Every structure is written in structure tokens, then in C-alpha cells.
């Protein structure tokens, strides 16, 4: 077994330097998961309801009314849109690396506002908006940075780190809320919120060890700096000079024949197809119910009649975290299309199962049926973290062309969060009106996701970013991406990145570069 692991691309290609970068640059995602889950967990707690809500005679307990749940959850998501809108300008003009510091600053300010909201619910809401603006920034810069640093063979695993830290943040927040649930004073919530400070602190402390993206340096004409970064990432014996020359040629070719500079270019020619794929997977991820699970699962389990829903929420998030670890391997092994298609199929089955079981109300459910519903929700979260959880960040980071990567990620992220905003605003009212049948709505979107994957989502596994440029520009049909033979500079870059070229091929490549220059 250990021998097969040693033969895997992940073991051979993932150096300690790349692993360090992949972990620490993804900490912004941990802030996303943490803030989502501490909020979703706190909404179901009586002390939190007593502090910020009112007495509910129907439940015989304190709770946050639907209008405050809607405002607190939905406006937080709206803050992400602000972060998404400023991300392209920051990434393009400051660089990928300095943008990480801006992200850390926004997270810190927002966390302080949340922590000091001792009595004001609306200050808490403002703090969430600021935190989520930093998260919106992270959702753009982190996948972009990762995709531009990672070798093609392990790019899926490298970008999965974003989803892993998101889930880990959710698990950590859920665990902290669970441990603090019996502390009925304001210090319990202060403890939970201040735990988030580890995210911006980790980014600041690791900042001096994070290099700039080598592709960004090539785009800016800083070739010597790009060579130094590539040697730092892939080792001192790596032929960084040749890769930079190939990247330089590819950038010049794109600028000459496929020039694109504005956000409108994302909707022109072959770039429109890339925008549809990048934004489509993000929209469908949200539509399938992840916001419902992250923000409202505790209140849903309370409706099912569970006395301690936080305990089950800890189990749910922990199972998702294990699934996320497995996805480090599966996305680069079996590919994007298969993972996303069957993930949507299994997620649809679980949501429809929950909705059908609870369609006639919660009162008639037996304890065994209640546990069966929770088991299906746990399985849904496992399947999500094996597929659509990490998959959208992988595809978002690799689908856009180099000239438009910042703008494609902006549109992709906006698609996600503009879908999550209405869901977060509307879900409390829908859940109060139709109860468990809410899950059937999310299950139907999983069926739509299967159709989208089958017809629109190409297989991008094992391809360099420049190969994807060639295939999109050649209008290769979706089902032919997997077996298409690239012949341009992108194929040469992939061979070089994956250390597969033989000495004869290397000589031929060098001759080609010298002739072109």
C-alpha cells in the first residue's frame, strides 16, 4: 500500500514547500467556514436567542426571529460581493501576494466588530459584512494563486486545500460552539468569535514565506523573479529558465491572437464558454443546499425534535472533513466530470429522501425516522465534500485564461454569492412555511447539476493551464476534452511541469523556443 502511495503523483510532485504554501494561503477559506458555522450553530442556542432575540411561545424558548436570521445571514453574504468586486483590481495591480494581506486586514476588522457587539445585534451584522468582504477577496485570490503555482498533475489536490480549510473552519467553529453551549453569558460568544483571529494571524505570520505567483510575474514581464520562484517551488534542479521562456511565448501568443482585457471579454467568443462553466458550477453548488446545511441545519434538527442538535452537527461536519481529505486524491485520480456528476446524483437522492420523509410534518416522526433523516443529511455532506465542495474551487481556479483569470474568478464568485444571498434571506421563511419539504427543492437543483455537468463541464485533469487555453480556443467538444491531444506550447509546459519529457524532447523544445525568440 505504501509503495502505491509513493508512486502516486501527489506524493512525487507535492514538495514540502508546495504543501506549506497550499496550507497557509488557504487560511482565508478557514475564516469562511468558521464564520458560517459559528453563526449557524449559535442560531439554535437558547442563550444566543435570549441575548439577541425574543421569547417564542410556540417553542417555549428564546430564539432569533426569522427576520433577524434572514438579515444576519443574508447581509453577511452580501459582504462577499463587495470583496469579489475589489478582488480583480487588487490582484492585478498589487499582485496575488499583497492581496492576501488586504484580506487579513478585512478579516481582523470584522472579527473585532463581531467580538465587541456585546448587546447590539446590528453591530454583529456589520462585523459579519466586513468579515465576509475579506472572504469574498479570499474566494478570488486564493484559487488563482494556487492554480498558478501548482503542477498540472496535482492541481486538483492543491486547490482542494481551499475546500479542506473551509470545512476545517466549520468543524472547529461547530466544536467550539458545542463546548460553549452551557456557558450562558456573553463570554461564551466572545470566545467563539475570537477563535477566528487565528486566521488573519496565520496569514500575516506566514506572509514572508509566501512567494508571488510565477505566472503573475511572467504576465508582468518580471522573468528573472519568475525563474527564482519556480526554482523555489519545484526545486533547484528544475529547468525554470525553459518554463519561463515557454510561458513568455504563450503570453505573447495570447496577446497577439486572442487579446482580452476587460470583463466584457469574458462574454465574447470562446471566453463565454469558460465563464458559463466557472460561474455555473458555483451557482449550482449553492443551489443544491450548502447554505442550508451551513446556516440552518441546527434549527432544522431542532424542528425534527432533537434535544441536542449541536452534537449531531459536530458529527456531520467531522464526516465532511474526512471526505474532504479523501478528495485530495480522488479529483486528480478519477477526474472532475465523474466526481461532480455522481456527487450531484447522490446528493439529490439524500435531499429528496429527507424531504419525502418529513413532508407530512415533524410531529409524526418516530425516533428511528428522525435519526434516518440525520443520517441522510450526514451522507449528503460527505458526498458534497467529495465532489461539489472542492470541485468548484478547482474549476474556478483553472478554467479562466491567463489574461482574464481575475475577471473570470470574479464572475464565478459573484455567481456563487449572488445565489447564496437570496437563499439565506428566503430559507428561514420557506423552512417555517413548508418544513422538511424544503429539502426537495434543493434535491431538484442537484438533478439540474447532473444535466449541467453532462453537457457543459469538460474534463480538465492533468492539463496545464495553457493546454486548456488551446482546447477552449479550438472549441473542443465537452466530451472530447479528456482524450484531446494538444500540440502547442501548453503541452510542452505540462510535460516540463510534470517532469515527463525525455532528453530528446527537451532538446526539441529548446530549439523551438530559440527559433521563436
Is the per-residue pLDDT at 511 higher than 50? Answer: no
> From CA 208, how far away is CA 146, in angstroms rounded?
17
Beta carbons within 10 angstroms of residue 236's beta carbon:
7
Least confident of 104-108, 153-157, 350-354, 490-494: 490-494
Q: What is the pLDDT of residue 503?
A: 38
Nearest of 68, 115, 29 to residue 299 by alpha carbon? 68
pLDDT tens per residue, range 226-276? 999 999 888 888 888 888 998 888 888 777 766 777 888 889 888 999 999
Over residues 497-506, the mean pLDDT reads: 46
**Weakest mean pLDDT among 50-59, 169-178, 185-194, 212-221:** 185-194
Which of 40, 422, 499, 465 lies closest to 237 in space, CA to CA?
Answer: 499
Q: What is the pLDDT of residue 41?
A: 67
Domain segments of the chain as ranges: 11-210+258-478, 217-257+487-517
Mean of pLDDT over the chain: 82
| Mean pLDDT across 105-125 | 83
In 3D, which of 261, 287, 290, 264 has the Cα closest to residue 275?
264
Instruction: Name the fold adopted by 11-210+258-478.
Output: Growth Hormone; Chain: A; (1.20.1250)
Mean pLDDT of 289-317: 77
Residue range 420-446: mean pLDDT, rounded: 82
| Residue that wins the pLDDT comparison between 441 and 253 | 441
DSSP string, 151-214: -GGGHHHHHHHHHHHHHHHHHHHHHHHHHHTT--SHHHHHHHHHGGGHHHHHHHHHGGGPPPPH
Angstrom distance (rounded) from CA 414 to CA 81: 6
12-24 residue pLDDT tens: 677 788 888 888 8
Take residue 219 and report the three cell numbers written for it. 504576465
Give residue 44's pLDDT band: very low, low, confident or very high (50, 70, 90). low
User: Can you give the C-alpha Rg of the chain in angstroms?
Assistant: 23
Helix (H, G, I), strand (E, B) or coil at 480: helix
More confident residue, 420 or 496: 420
Q: Cα(280)–Cα(413) distance, rounded to whole angstroms?
A: 10
Average pLDDT over residues 335-361: 90
Q: pLDDT value at position 502?
A: 42
Q: What is the pLDDT of residue 37?
A: 73
pLDDT (0 to 100) of residue 3: 55
pLDDT score for 397: 86
Using the predicted structure, report yes or no on whether residue 508 has a pLDDT greater than 50. no
Amino acid at each position: 500500500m505504501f509503495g502505491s502511495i509513493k508512486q502516486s503523483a501527489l506524493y512525487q510532485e507535492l514538495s514540502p514547500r508546495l504543501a506549506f504554501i497550499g496550507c497557509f494561503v488557504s487560511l482565508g477559506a478557514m475564516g469562511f467556514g468558521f464564520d458560517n458555522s459559528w453563526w449557524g450553530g449559535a442560531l439554535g442556542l437558547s442563550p444566543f436567542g435570549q441575548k439577541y432575540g425574543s421569547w417564542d411561545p410556540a417553542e417555549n424558548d428564546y430564539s432569533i426571529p426569522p427576520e433577524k436570521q434572514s438579515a444576519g445571514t443574508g447581509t453577511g453574504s452580501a459582504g462577499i460581493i463587495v470583496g469579489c468586486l475589489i478582488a480583480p483590481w487588487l490582484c492585478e495591480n498589487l499582485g496575488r501576494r499583497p492581496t492576501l494581506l488586504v484580506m487579513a486586514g478585512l478579516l481582523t476588522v470584522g472579527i473585532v466588530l463581531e467580538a465587541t457587539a456585546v448587546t447590539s445585534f446590528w453591530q454583529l451584522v456589520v462585523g459579519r459584512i466586513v468579515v465576509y468582504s475579506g472572504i469574498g477577496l479570499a474566494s478570488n485570490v486564493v484559487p488563482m494563486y494556487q492554480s498558478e503555482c501548482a503542477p498540472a498533475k496535482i492541481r486538483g489536490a492543491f486547490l482542494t486545500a481551499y475546500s479542506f480549510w473551509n470545512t476545517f473552519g466549520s468543524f472547529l467553529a461547530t466544536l467550539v460552539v458545542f463546548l460553549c453551549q452551557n456557558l450562558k453569558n456573553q463570554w461564551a460568544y466572545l470566545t467563539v468569535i475570537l477563535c477566528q483571529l487565528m486566521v488573519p494571524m496565520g496569514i500575516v505570520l506566514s506572509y514572508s514565506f509566501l512567494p508571488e505567483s510565477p505566472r503573475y510575474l511572467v504576465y508582468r514581464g518580471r522573468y528573472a523573479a519568475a525563474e527564482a520562484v519556480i526554482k523555489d517551488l519545484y526545486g533547484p534542479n528544475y529547468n525554470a529558465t525553459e518554463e519561463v521562456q515557454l510561458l513568455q511565448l504563450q503570453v505573447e501568443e495570447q496577446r497577439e491572437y486572442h487579446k482580452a482585457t476587460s470583463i466584457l471579454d469574458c462574454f465574447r467568443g470562446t471566453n463565454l464558454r469558460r465563464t458559463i462553466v466557472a460561474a455555473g458550477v458555483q451557482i449550482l453548488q449553492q443551489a443544491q443546499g450548502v447554505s442550508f446545511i451551513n446556516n440552518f441545519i441546527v434549527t432544522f434538527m431542532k424542528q425534527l425534535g432533537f434535544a441536542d442538535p449541536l452534537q449531531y452537527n459536530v458529527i456531520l461536519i467531522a464526516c465532511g472533513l474526512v471526505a474532504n481529505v479523501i478528495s485530495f486524491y480522488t479529483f486528480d485520480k478519477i477526474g472532475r466530470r465523474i466526481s461532480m456528476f455522481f456527487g450531484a446524483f447522490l446528493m439529490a437522492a439524500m435531499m429528496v429522501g429527507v424531504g419525502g420523509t418529513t413532508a407530512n410534518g415533524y410531529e409524526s416522526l418516530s425516533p428511528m425516522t428522525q435519526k434516518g433523516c440525520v443520517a441522510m443529511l450526514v451522507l449528503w455532506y460527505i458526498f458534497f465534500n467529495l465532489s461539489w465542495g472542492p470541485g468548484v474551487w478547482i474549476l474556478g481556479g483553472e478554467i479562466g485564461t491567463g489574461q482574464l483569470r481575475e475577471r473570470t474568478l470574479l464572475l464565478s464568485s459573484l455567481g456563487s454569492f449572488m445565489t447564496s444571498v437570496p437563499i439565506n434571506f428566503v430559507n428561514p421563511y420557506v423552512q417555517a412555511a413548508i418544513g422538511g419539504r424544503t429539502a426537495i427543492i434543493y434535491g431538484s437543483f442537484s438533478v439540474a447539476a447532473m444535466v449541467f455537468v453532462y453537457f457543459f463541464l469538460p474534463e480538465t485533469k492533468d492539463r496545464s493551464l495553457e493546454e486548456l487555453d488551446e482546447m477552449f480556443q479550438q472549441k473542443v467538444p465537452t466530451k472530447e476534452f479528456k482524450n484531446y491531444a494538444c500540440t502547442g506550447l501548453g503541452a510542452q509546459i505540462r510535460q516540463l511541469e510534470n517532469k515527463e519529457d525525455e532528453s530528446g524532447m527537451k532538446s526539441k523544445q529548446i530549439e523551438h523556443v530559440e527559433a521563436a525568440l
